[in-house]
Amino acid sequence: MESSRFYKKKTCMPDTVLYCSLHDPVAPCPSGYNTNKAVSLWGNSGRMEMTASKFMDIQRAIQPDWFQCLSDGDTISGEAGRKRAKKSVDRSLSFLDVCLQLLEKSPELQGSVMFGAIEGGDILEERLRSARETAKRPVGGFLLDGFQGCTMAKETKLKLIASVTAELPEDKPRIIHGVGKPDEVLECIERGVDIFESFFPFQVTERGCALVFSYDCHPDPEAAVLNQNGAQDLEKNGAEDNQDEISKADPEMTPFEIFLKDKRYHDDFGPVLEGCTCYCCQRHTRAYVHHLLVTNELLAGVLLMMHNFQHYFNFFSAIRDALRDNKLDQLKKCVFRQVLQGPANAKPGQ
Ligand SMILES: [Zn+2]
């Protein structure tokens, strides 16, 4: 989990906050299984019904720093979803009231903060009702739920996020689930979101890719040279002759990453990203990671994860600096420029 505005609290694990969410952000969550009494969770052993009391028992055992309240985020898009959106808000408020009562009575959870979940699908009036009602309750922060996946149009999503955060008190953190791409993160920050999950670098790693985008908005000539290396690689994405290899890359691949399994990297003896200080870039080459990927070695994922996490967390550090120095616009320009140069818009043979 990464924070743009709030700094990390010390726990037994230094520099980390333990946050417990209801669902795994990278696992599919089938629709149609929630009731007024329970929310369905899905794992290796199939479906599990989570009632408010069972949910709070688990929180008592884990004692996280922060956790989201049990909520029903299972909505469908469009006008047909209006009734379902209302139900999701009603249920989530009712779960919130039960969980707040149980929280108050739990000595084990006096050091834990519960986030209220804002639901309501893509229906603005339900989102606003959810935000206003949740803000009346003694929650420690807010979760903007139900924005994961791509069923909602981007414009609708951003408008809803801005409308919801406008209803929330400034002094309590807002976390969003299911948003992790650098450009989308910046758009959400502009609309008042503070905290994000870190599933994105994991997904990048899973598809055999490395994050190489630049987030340097300072016109420091020396640093700019280092950063250009990654940018040049992004420009090369999809712009060379071996289109067959490119097409084997995951269609979910974003303009912020390079596909290291591509054969063009088999004799590339530079680091994954020039100038990066992570373990992988300091000790290994692109050619080595490429070899590990094509031979399905587990170490490939370990090394890529080290690099991708460090790069992503440094991106958030750059966001905090940009907010402090009033340079978020410059950072946004720098990141969005790379969206245009990426593989989605690169023409073959260019
Ligand atoms: Zn690295």
In this predicted structure, the answer to whether residue 99 has a pLDDT above a threshold of 50 is yes
pLDDT given at position 344? 38
Q: Which residues pair with 19 in a beta bridge?
A: 66
In this predicted structure, the answer to whether residue 221 has a pLDDT above a threshold of 70 is no
Annotated binding site for Zn(2+): 276, 278, 281, 307
Rounded distance from Cα 263 to ligand 1 centre (Å): 20
For 259-266, the CB contacts below 8 A with 24+ separation are: 259/207, 259/208, 259/209, 260/208, 260/209, 260/210, 260/286, 260/289, 260/290, 260/293, 260/304, 261/208, 261/290, 261/293, 261/294, 262/290, 263/290, 264/236, 264/240, 265/289, 265/290, 266/290, 266/291, 266/294
Rounded distance from Cα 195 to ligand 1 centre (Å): 23
- pTM value surpassing 0.75: yes
Q: How does pLDDT run across 116-165, given as a tens digit for each residue? A: 999 999 999 999 999 999 999 999 999 999 888 767 888 999 999 999 99
What mean pLDDT, rounded, does the chain reach? Answer: 87
Rounded distance from Cα 88 to ligand 1 centre (Å): 42
pLDDT given at position 170? 95
In this predicted structure, the answer to whether residue 177 has a pLDDT above a threshold of 60 is yes
Rounded distance from Cα 272 to ligand 1 centre (Å): 6
Rounded distance from Cα 308 to ligand 1 centre (Å): 7
Which residue is listed with tokens 């420690």?
140
Annotated binding site: 276, 278, 281, 307
pLDDT given at position 9? 40
Rounded distance from Cα 11 to ligand 1 centre (Å): 27
Rounded distance from Cα 29 to ligand 1 centre (Å): 32
Rounded distance from Cα 56 to ligand 1 centre (Å): 39
- What's the pLDDT band for 27 if we cut at 50, 70, 90? confident
Of 130, 72, 140, 143, which is closest to residue 104 (Cα–Cα)? 140
> 153 and 127 in contact (C-beta within 8 Å)?
no
Rounded distance from Cα 236 to ligand 1 centre (Å): 19
Q: How does pLDDT run across 261-276, given as a tens digit for each residue? A: 999 999 999 999 999 9
Most confident option among 43-52, 62-71, 214-223, 333-342 = 62-71
